[in-house]
Amino acid sequence: MQLIRTIADLRTALRAERSAGKTVGFVPTMGYLHIGHLTLAKHSQLNCDVTVVSIFVNPTQFSPNEDLAQYPRNLPHDLKLLEEQGVDYVFAPEVDEMYPDGSGKTSTYVDVGDLSSILMGALRPNHFRGVATVVSKLFNIVQPDKAFFGEKDYQQLAVIKRMVTDLNQPVEVFGVPTVREPDGLACSSRNSLLSAEDRAAAIILPQAMQLAQTLVDQGERSVSVLHQAVLDKLQQEARGEVEAVDIRDAETLAETAELLTAPAVLLLTVRFGKTRLIDQHVLRF
């Protein structure tokens, strides 16, 4: 495995791989890796000749009042995990390498329109603009054939797919199912920021999603009934502050009719102390 710090070095290394006829798979991450990230890398390794994982905590997707400084980091541990898994390249640039004026900002942003401003985009203005911008930059640097993203960040995946379509970016984007801890909580780097009590309480998210699926399995199709049931369940856990419960069309993220006729995605955002957890479940019937 090669650790690469500069754009020029990565381009040189990947040019050689492509000249040898190798396909390139790419997994962008912000580090503090867990089994969910390693699963994305595994998908890339199974589907491409060469796998690149980037580790970069991207300042443009955090608002000034958000947890950029607190975001967990542990590059040596990340490198050990990726080495053990047999990943080919890790690209871990400094902020100045990605945003050369030193401010962690850029003049040119990629804005994916309405999809970026609804749902989590309403809670975190400019978040998806920062994600789309850095992922575009990374796609330009890595020029992957395929890129892999977790379905846990459901809206992020939708934003990136739309961006790739709208900008004709020559990369195939794949969503990979959410990997969960044994008790059902979705793996997330932010889980490490939870106190032991909040970590225990956080299983209310998968429990609420399970409840919604059970109701759908029993024939419930009313979005308002499902919404209320999920909200009531989440509110049983006093440690969590419910920020959002949304049921949207699973394909387009558009609002659904009151009675579901097609798969819908349940999107949850719950805050435990300062840590915001998100999760998603596609309600199928």
Active site residues: 37
Our finding on whether 153 is near ligand PAF (CB under 6 A) is: yes
Phi, then psi, of 235 in degrees rounded to 5: -75, -10
Our finding on whether 209 is near ligand PAF (CB under 6 A) is: no
240-249 and 264-272 strand pairing: antiparallel
Footprint (CB under 6 A) of ligand PAF, residues 9-38: 28-30
* Residue 60 Cβ vs ligand PAF, minimum distance, rounded to whole Å: 9
* Residue 232 Cβ vs ligand PAF, minimum distance, rounded to whole Å: 30
Our finding on whether 134 is near ligand PAF (CB under 6 A) is: yes
Our finding on whether 279 is near ligand PAF (CB under 6 A) is: no
Nearest to 31 by CA among 63, 64, 58: 58
Pick between residue 156 and residue 169 the one whose CB is nearest to ligand PAF. 156
Pick between residue 131 and residue 194 the one whose CB is nearest to ligand PAF. 131
* Residue 266 Cβ vs ligand PAF, minimum distance, rounded to whole Å: 20
Q: Which residues contact 283 (CB under 8 A, 6 or more apart)?
A: 212, 213, 216, 226, 247, 250, 260, 263, 264, 265, 266
Our finding on whether 191 is near ligand PAF (CB under 6 A) is: no
* Residue 223 Cβ vs ligand PAF, minimum distance, rounded to whole Å: 28
Our finding on whether 119 is near ligand PAF (CB under 6 A) is: no
Our finding on whether 58 is near ligand PAF (CB under 6 A) is: yes
Helix extents (H) in the chain: 7-19, 35-47, 75-85, 95-98, 114-117, 120-123, 127-142, 154-166, 196-201, 204-217, 223-235
Q: Which residues pair with 186 in a beta bridge?
A: 180
Paired tokens of 153: 């960040």
Residue numbers at the binding site for ligand PAF (CB under 6 A) = 28-30, 58, 61, 131, 134-135, 153, 156
